[in-house]
Amino acid sequence: MASDFDLYRPSEEHEMLRDSVRALAEAKIAPHAAEVDEEARFPQEARDALVANDLHAVHVPETYGGAGADALATVIVIEEVARVCGSSSLIPAVNKLGSLPVILSASEELKKRYLTPLAKGDAMFSYCLSEPDAGSDAGGMKTKAVRDGDHWVLDGVKRWITNAGVSDYYTVMAVTDAEKRTKGISAFVVEKDDPGVSFGAPEKKLGIKGSPTREVYLDKVRIPADRMIGAEGSGFATAMKTLDHTRITIAAQALGIAQGALDYAKGYVQERKQFGKPIGDFQGVQFMLADMAMKIEAARQLTYAAAARSERVSEGSEKEDLTFFGAAAKCYASDAAMEITTDAVQLLGGYGYTRDYPVERMMRDAKITQIYEGTNQVQRIVMARNLP
């Protein structure tokens, strides 16, 4: 693995993108982050700002009106938004998660129909894989799709669906042939306004409160047969390929949250005085900051290396160990983010434990990155099965 590992350095264009996203995030998104969390409301201000600057779905190819950004550019957008607001970073992240199955496997007609409004900012995408009894064991799903002439009829419940109720389009995995297990799962595009689609109440969550998480109910939802993504029975394979790419966006979210916590803690320890001097002058505090910065940089390099592999796989390379690197980046960055945000709270002492300071929100937001798109226990299983 060592000989194949390349330190991925962002280009000048990537760094210019970072500067512009950071400026936008600090001006238009950060001022609303605490309120969004406190009120558990969708960050509409963030969506408006991202859409106005074509940053809501930068991964969409130029063919469909998108920016055609590479995987690293997408990572940088998510990272910089997450630095100020974890909830808001799920707008570009989940737009990619929900639409990537279409990009990877759908017909050209389906791509044009759904990627074009996504690129314009007229719609958002969500991803429906998990169910009440199918979490880590996604292949155990029970949602069914039955062929009826020129249509498919979907019945079932999807759980833990990010941005459900706000998104207009949903990539839904459903069983079309139960006897074939995972090879009998197919993917479909379901629209919010399709008859029979409804949503549960928003979950009351520990963190990322501004991003609604709801159940999606499919009650005899009848959709045209041409809304199937790829061939019948290919849905689970598409879902797993999607996660290989999008786990890197969760690493980016974790990375951004961790960076935001470190940045705030660094400023705080220079201002807070005890025993007659700034607490940042004490070696114990300096060691904590050093460890935080070291873990962030390690997470960043692993995440960027994974993004580079994601891009090369998208360009047709079959030699990249993307499955391992995607899982490793997500696992390491999210574990690091949980440690770093916890340390940031510690550095602020009692103040860090209050909602008057942002690090407690960052700590709560960081926790989910260890859980969704595959728990970190599952990531370790994935890595062990795909050792380079």
280 in Cβ contact with 105 (< 8 Å)? no
Q: How confident is the model over 204-241, as pLDDT tens digits?
A: 999 999 999 999 999 999 999 999 999 999 999 999 99
Backbone angles phi, psi at 147, to 5 degrees: -70, 135
Q: What does pTM read for this prediction? A: 0.96
Which helix or strand (DSSP H or E) is residue 305 part of? helix 283-314
Q: How confident is the model over 289-311, as pLDDT tens digits?
A: 999 999 999 999 999 999 999 99
Q: Where are the beta strands (DSSP E) in 168-271?
A: 169-175, 185-191, 197-199, 213-224, 228-229
β-pairing, 273-274 with 197-199?
unpaired
Q: How confident is the model over 310-366, as pLDDT tens digits?
A: 999 988 877 679 999 999 999 999 999 999 999 999 999 999 999 999 999 999 999
pLDDT bucket at 4, cuts 50 / 70 / 90:
very low
Domains and their CATH numbers in the chain: 2-120 (1.10.540.10), 125-233 (2.40.110.10), 236-385 (1.20.140.10)
pLDDT bucket at 5, cuts 50 / 70 / 90:
very low
149: left (phi over 0), alpha (psi -120 to 50) or beta: left
* Residue 2 pLDDT > 50: no
Annotated catalytic residue: which of 215, 311, 360, 373? 373
Backbone angles phi, psi at 386, to 5 degrees: -130, 40
> Does the annotation count 373 as an active-site position?
yes
Residues 105, 68: Cα–Cα separation, whole Å: 17
Residues 167, 154: Cα–Cα separation, whole Å: 19
**Which amino acid, residue 320?**
E
